[in-house]
Structure 1
Amino acid sequence: MTVMATPPQRSNPTARTHEVTNQPPPLVGHDVADDPVLLEGIRREGAEWYEADLHRVGRLAGSEEVRLQAEQANRCEPVLHTHDRYGNRIDEVEFHPAYHQLLDVAVREGLAAAPWADPRPGAHVARAAGFMVWTTPEAGHGCPISMTYAVVPALRATPELAAVYEPLLTSRSYDPGLRAPASKRGLLAGMGMTEKQGGTDVRSNTTTATEHADGTWRLRGHKWFTSAPMNDLFLVLAQTPGGLSCFLVPRVLPDGSRNTFRIQRLKDKLGNRSNASSEPEFDDTVAWLVGAEGQGVRTIIDMVTMTRLDCVLGSASGTRAALAEAAHHVRHRSVFGRKLIDQPLMRNVIADLGVESEAASTLALRVAGAVDRAERGDTHERAFLRLATAVAKYWVCKRQPAAVVEALECLGGNGYDEASGLPRLYRDAPLNGIWEGSGNVQALDVLRALRREPESLDAFAAEIDAASGADARLDTAWRALRDELVPTPDIELRARRLVEHMALVLQGSLLVRHAPAAVADAFCASRLTPERGLAFGTMPGGLDLAPILDRLPGRIG
């Protein structure tokens, strides 16, 4: 006989096992440009006329639709197709439609090369602010945008080439696909500098160029890290009898035939995964000389200067994006019976991140303003730009990873979850410090400028002197820095320390003159004194943090 066991007593089967509470809502439906630091910056640097457009871009950047596009573009990574179904070599990269949608907005909003065709003062500042806002949700597509912006001044070294291509590069039409450049509504550009045996040491490049009777050149060689291989045009360095030279290489020739641009593989990168980076091989590849033969570095350095500016803008944007997520979280999350934003230690951390972000954005927009005024003939601003770009590139990019990981920690375990968006920001964070010259390259470039171009130090000093007497801590730091600037046998060994101090004193000068008193006070107390802490959240007591916290981004509504 089978004995039935007595069934266990069950609780109400409709009872919920848990209820989701104390979780911040998604940071969507907000205006990314609703940030006093950005808005004050564009007014100060001469682009106040752009404010309404910046808010329009900011509302789109903060939308749920664009957040989804950013996730899709990074989860569905680019795919290389070397051949078509019939075995023909095509060397094309397929992207998720979201990537194209992001690029379309960027080009349409004038964030690529449009400022070079815009006569309004402040055009480059407007573009810089727009770039910072639009790349907040997704940074990878900013790479082809940056290179297209940067290629124009270098291409002008050969006016006949600039006359053909500049109108299409400055276009606000995104026209993807490989076709003859003249048949398209707009073009994107890239660059191919480094090779596997040399990296930063481009003078050791082995790619060669041979001149032909028709005025073109033929390239043969292999590049190690060429991003955005589906762009239309590339500036490439190659060796000629006269030395290292710069060349324009189109993916498609004027007659519509494919130029030889064999993509050997796509890089499997830590971050920046929405954007394809490749190793192209040149074999009898048609090219046109840009600038003088043997002057390749001098020609392409104009492009490098502009892409370094975008590294600063991108790192300031990435720092600000992480801060916005952290600030949004602590405004909504309660722990131990109080909102995180109301707890003293968290206030110190978030305020410290806010000071870091404001210093980065203020410096980035100041450099963009110098670009704008230098392009309009201001020699003082051009001299300032020579040092300020390298100093800002070194420090702002160096600080981004530390700031992002601290912001991630503010979310606790939630920040370590891909759904929060912080892991992607963290993977992207080191890129700008590496691209266009790592920290050592920037530090050595500063030493080179100090040695060869003393007028750049004069302009740099004048910028800091503008705040003389406003803060004793800044004055003391500036006196100490002047002593460090004296050449000594070990100056190369201590170059990073020197450039770090230059960046902090420059940021301090800008904040003392332009930021609210509480922000400037917190910066000088936490960055310019011997007692400064090493981690975020170590600002000394006695500071007024409320005005700093009131300026944080990441507010909905």
Structure 2
Amino acid sequence: MTASTHTVTNQVPPLVGYDVFTGDRVLTEGLERHASPEVLDQARSELSALGLEAGSARAQEWGTLANENPPKLRTHDRYGNRIDEVEFHPAWHQLLDRAVSAGLTDAWGRPDGHLRRAAGFYVWTQAEAGNGCPLSMTHAAVPALRTEPELAAEWEPRLTSHRYEPGLRPAAEKAGALFGMGMTEKQGGSDVRANTTAAKPLDADGEYLLTGHKWFCSAPMCDGFLVLAQAPAGLTCFLVPRVLPDGTRNVFLIQRLKEKLGNRSNASSEVEFDGTWARRVGEEGRGVRTIIEMVAATRVDCVLGSAALMRQSVAQAVHHAAYRSAFGGELIDKPLMRNVLADLALESEAATTLALRLAAAQDAVQSTGSQAERAFLRLAVPTAKYWVTKRCTPVAAEALECLGGNGYVEESGMPRLLRESPLNSIWEGSGNVQALDVLRALQREPEALNAFLQEVGGARGADHRLDGAIKDLLTELADLNGIEARARRLVERMALVLQGSLLVRWAPPAVADAFCASRLGGDWGTAFGTLPHSLDLESVVTRARAAG
């Protein structure tokens, strides 16, 4: 029986059935700004199709089901044979199938490939962030494999394929393959040089047997893994296939799946190698150098992933406020709520604009070999990775609060965004690792600082608050003695100056003015919703509303 004590009113309809790409002005403008004219129309069409799928009820249901039914580990079959397989809900496979078919592992060979993939990764992350791990690992493995042309010729066509083929079979039988990563160990964490996994050379050139453990092994259902192990000449990179060329299973003992705060749909594992067959990637003793471009690529994905989570959080908050009435009017028209929403929107737009700038720089390096853009990325990537991923959690938490008690309920989807939000600040090196990497570049690579300053200097003279922030930053950079203890503050300043410069050049005046007034001008509180009241906050909020 249906209760008749009241009628349900003033409840917000779900944000569903919309184009995640076309409805995002910051993203569409970024694509138009950076994409080559000859690929722009095709990119728009592809991304709109993906955006419609990401905003559909079907994709949203896939994300819900994949998280409510997390992966399960099956170490043995019914007869006692070791199989080490991970089972996923069908929704997980549907998410990955759509992502791979959209080219989210294919950036290295096509025009504006990094930008187009970045925009797609950003769009699809808003449907479900958990499948981002194998997509990112597969994409990022390509430059490491290219250090061994024979391996690249064998694996790259599969990794960049638009075919998703799950299941453990010899790679030669598959049109598409996914890669994972096994770098960290219990005793070392981010200090991979402390790894103890041993690599014993075999008679065949480039072949080894590995013995040891990996404390975090990403996406253990993948076809292959890049791992670090100690060879006779030192730390070295290796390719470990799950299935050997003869069809037998490689020794890849999954001890358990991690029980994580968020990222529930994805499998993270502990694995043991015990005479595990591997092929060397790059020179012995040069493992870190071999994977350096891979690390840079995955760090850019961390920035993209966090920017996408922020965007979805803000889109949900603005959508809620546009429909919910309280105290005599719609929430979106209330001055204080408008201030909160505008503040969140600024954070989201700054993150997205910076992420797309990194992707465009990757394309410039890929297509023209631009040394200036390579030098820019050397500082900009760890700076952005530090700051954007750090900002994701407070944005998700504040956006959840905009929905009130409804936001705290699982059905709203906001708790899933909040649980996911800290991940990218930890993955691929936590905040301290990023800050120390920035210091390392400042001290050893002066061309990187020059490229960074040229980038931020592109907006000098356009806003007095930005000019003042650049001057203060130069003063701080003039003395690097004893800077480690204040490295986080320095990197934060660098990130804000970079974001301010990009927004002053490319964002609408209302957005740039509000960002500079708050983030660079000092007129900003410690919580969201403390923007100067004299700013054009209505324009900022209207721009952030999902449309299309």
Q: TM-score scaled by structure 1?
A: 0.96
Q: 1:134: which partner in 2?
A: 124
Choose from 440, 444, 452 the match for 1:460.
452
Q: Residue 533 of structure 1 corresponds to which residue in structure 2?
A: 525
| CA–CA distance in structure 2, aligned partners of residues 28 and 541 of structure 1 | 32
**Equivalence for 2:253:** 262
- Per-residue deviation at 1:15? 7.2
Answer yes or no: is 1:17 the counterpart of 2:5. yes
Aligned counterpart in structure 1 of residue 150 of structure 2, from 160, 178, 184: 160
Report the counterpart of residue 523 of structure 1 in structure 2. Answer: 515
Shift of 1:455: 0.4
- 1:104-149 Cα shifts (integer Å, max 9, x gaps): 000000001x12232x2x2210110011001102000111000000
The runs of 5 or more residues in structure 1 that have no matched partner are 1-12
CA contact (8 A) 2:17 2:55 kept: yes
How many Å separate the matches in 2 of 1:388 and 1:206?
Answer: 32
Correspondence list, 1:298-313, <5 A: 298-313=289-304
Give the counterpart of 2:282 among 287, 291, 296: 291
Quick check: 1:32–1:553 contact (8 Å CA) kept in 2? no
Equivalent positions of 1:496-507 (< 5 A) are: 496-507=488-499
| From 85, 89, 94, the counterpart of 2:87 | 94
Paired position in structure 2 for 1:28:
16
1:115 is aligned to 2:107: yes
Note if 1:41 corresponds to 2:30: yes
Match of 2:477 in 1: 485
**Alpha-carbon deviation of 1:14?**
8.5
Compute the displacement of 1:437 (Å).
0.2
* Partner of residue 84, structure 1: 77
Residue in structure 2 matching 1:105, options 80, 98, 112: 98
State the Cα deviation string for residues 344-376 of structure 1 (Å, max 9, x = none): 000000011111100000000000111111112
Correspondence 1:429 to 2:421: yes
Per-residue deviation, 1:545: 1.3
How far apart are 1:337 and its partner, in Å?
Answer: 1.1
Offset, 1:531 = 3.0
**CA-CA distance at 1:200 after TM superposition:** 0.5
Does residue 512 of the first structure (1) align with residue 500 of the second (2)? Answer: no
- Aligned-partner Cα distance in 1 for 2:279–2:2: 74
Cα distance in 2, alignment partners of residues 438 and 167 from structure 1 = 32
Which portions of structure 1, spanning 4 or more consecutive aligned residues, are displaced by more than 6 angstroms?
none
Q: Deviations over 1:377-407 (max 9, x none)?
A: 1111111011000000000000000000000
Match of 1:345 in 2: 336
Q: Which secondary structure does the structure 2 equivalent of 1:513 belong to?
A: helix
For residue 211 of structure 2, what is the aligned residue in structure 1? Answer: 220
Q: Contact between 1:320 and 1:553, CA under 8 Å: does it hold in 2? A: no
CA distance in 1, matches of 2:360, 2:447: 19
Distance 1:209 1:320 in 2: 44
Q: TM-score normalized by structure 2?
A: 0.98
Alignment gaps of 5+ in structure 2: none
Aligned with 1:27: secondary structure?
A: coil
For the residues of structure 2 that align with 1:489 and 1:507, how far apart are their CA atoms? 26
CA distance in 2, matches of 1:224, 1:458: 38
Partner Cα separation in structure 1 for residue 420 and residue 100 of structure 2: 22
Q: Which moved more, 1:546-555 or 1:431-440?
A: 546-555
Residue 534 (structure 1) shift: 1.2
Structure 2 match to 1:282:
273
Partner residue of 1:201?
Answer: 191
Q: 1:207 to 1:465 in 2, by over 3 A?
A: same
Larger-gyration structure (1/2): 1
User: C-alpha deviations, 1:388-442, integer Å up to 9, x for none?
Assistant: 0000000000000000000000000000000000000000000000000000000
Instruction: Report how many residues are paired.
Output: 541
Percent identity over the alignment? 64
Letter in 1 for 2:70: E
Instruction: Return the alpha-carbon distance in structure 2 between the equivalents of residues 18 and 262 of structure 1.
Output: 57
Comparing 374-383 and 544-553, the one that deviates more:
544-553
What value does the CA root-mean-square deviation take over the aligned residues? 1.1
CA–CA distance in structure 2, aligned partners of residues 102 and 453 of structure 1: 41
